[in-house]
Each structure stands twice: as C-alpha cells, then as structure tokens.
Structure 1
Amino acid sequence: MRTRPVLVYDGDCGFCTGSVRLVARVVRPRCDAVPSQRADLAALGVAPERARHEALWVTPTGTVYGGAQAVAKLLLSAGGAWPVAGALLTLPPVRWAAHVVYRLVADNRRRLPGRTAGCALPADRTPPT
C-alpha cells in the first residue's frame, strides 16, 4: 500500500515536466511525482483518458483530484506558507477561477515555453490558425 500521494502529470509535455521540476524544487510537496506514461494508472485507479486531460493527485487511499484541485492538494502537502495558497484554491469563488485558469493553461500548453510534440492537441481539437 502507498503511504504518499502521487502526482501524475504528462511526461511528454516539456511545459508540464518543467513545471513539476520547478514545483519540486521550490514548493517541495510531500508526494511522488510520476509521468502518466510511466505510471501504473490501473493500480492508481485512474483512466488513461483522464491522465491525458489533466494533472492528477492520487491519495494513498485512492481518492483522485484533478486539475486545479490537484494543484491545491499539492500545495496543501507542502511546508511553509504554501498550504495557505492550497486552502484558498479549495474555496469558492477562488476554486472556480482556478479551474478556469488551469483549463486555459492546459488547453494551450502547446503554445507555452518548453512545449514538445506531446503537448499538441489531436487534429480534431486543434483551433484554426
């Protein structure tokens, strides 16, 4: 049985990988970070489609939080003042705004610094240029 939460993220995305590395260095969350491509998603109770859609925080008991709420849980697990920021992200209307910002970033990650081909949206979801 796991004793630490697991952060599942897109390891094919340079922006995502760089963000996780920065967070590990600066925020120092108490978790194991695993790229979705290397994670045993079935053992974590996570559908591959969900892992492709958003970062996930999986508790040792198997509860899964996604997107902005995964970020909130990550911040809540850290030391210092970070848990205050994490707690704020769980409260409406901050929670709602965090969700919108998370989706905006996640849906446009192919345009952000550090992007790779893994960040690209499927052809049927790619906006016209």
Structure 2
Amino acid sequence: MTELSHSSRAKSSRPSEPFDPSHPLIVFDGVCVLCSGFVRMVVRLDRQSRFRFATAQSPFGEALFRQHGLRTDSYETNLVLVDGAAFTRLDSFVAVMAELGWPWRAAKVLLLLPRPLRNWLYNRIAKNRYALFGRKDSCDIPPPELRERFLG
C-alpha cells in the first residue's frame, strides 16, 4: 500500500481533536452516499470496534486532509490512518479491508494492479460518485451507541 509522505504536513493545520493512533481512522466525505455506505459497512464488520471515523467536512477531518496535503474543496478520496501511516484512493480501501481481517484482507490482491491503474480506477468512481450513488444535504448524525467512535 502507498503511504503518504509526511513531509507535506502543514504545521498550522494540526487537528484540534486528539485521537488514539492505535485505532485506525477513516476520514470520509460525509455527504457522499457511497462513502457513508462504506463507513456503515465497516461499522458492521468491525466486531472489535477498533475503527474511528470523521467526516472530511468537520474541522477535525479538514485539518487532517490539510495535514496530509489533500484538497479540502472536493474530498475526492478517503483518508485512512493506520499505525501512523496515511493511505488514500484505492489504497485506503485496501488498508481498511486488511484491518478487518479475513476474508476482507483478500482485497490486498488489488495491490497487484499498478498504482497508476489503481488511481485511475478510483478517480473514475470518485469523480462520478454523486451522480452514480447520490449526495445528501448534510452529514449523518451517528446513533448514540456509535458517537464515541465518530470524531470531530
């Protein structure tokens, strides 16, 4: 999987909310139906409740996007942080699946595709996600039993 370089961190945009790096974190487009559906799937499959979540539209999520050199005007990728490493695009999906264990870890086979092809495939879906899957007017509010897992 591809890790983002941490040399592009913007020192002035540190996330204001502390989070425990021992928990994988998914920063996602909260108004994207596809992205929110992915998070609901992860919540369902994450039997150990390890994952934490933040919408990219939240101040916390936006600060993380900036910190990792990502655009904050279109949120065309998820940002996944696992054990101090940052992943985007299709690599973020693979990182999440790998953390969920077997059989989901089999998604690592996608890493056999050359990175330019992986990025191209991901970008085609990301650029058309609202047209294909829809867009919400606002981010969902997590149910009370999940609120502690949602940051920002």
TM-score by length of 2: 0.61
Write the deviation string for residues 40-89 of structure 1: whole angstroms up to 9, x where unpaired: 2436733451672311111242x21101000010011012211121x212
The match for 1:92 among 97, 108, 113 is 113
1:117 deviation in Å? 5.6
Report Cα offsets for 1:73-125 as digits up to 9, x if no partner.
Answer: 0011012211121x2122234x544322211110001212332367xxxxxxx
Q: What is aligned with 1:13?
A: 32
Identity across the alignment (%):
25
**Matched letter for residue 82 of structure 2:** T
Q: RMSD in angstroms over aligned alpha carbons?
A: 2.7
Give the gaps of 5 or more residues in structure 2. Answer: 1-19, 139-152
1:21-42 Cα distance to aligned partner (Å, 9 max, x none): 12332x4384212111225243
Question: TM (normalized to structure 1)?
Answer: 0.70
**Matched pairs, number:** 114
Any residues of structure 2 matched to 1:23-38 within 5 Å, and which? 23-25=42-44, 27-28=45-46, 30-38=50-58
Contact 1:18 1:114 in 2 (8 A): no
Structure 1 alignment gaps of length 5 or more: 119-129
Q: Which has the higher contact order (CA 8 A, sep 6+)?
A: 2
Q: Distance in 1 between matches of 2:94 and 2:81?
A: 12
1-structure distance, mates of 2:42, 2:82: 18
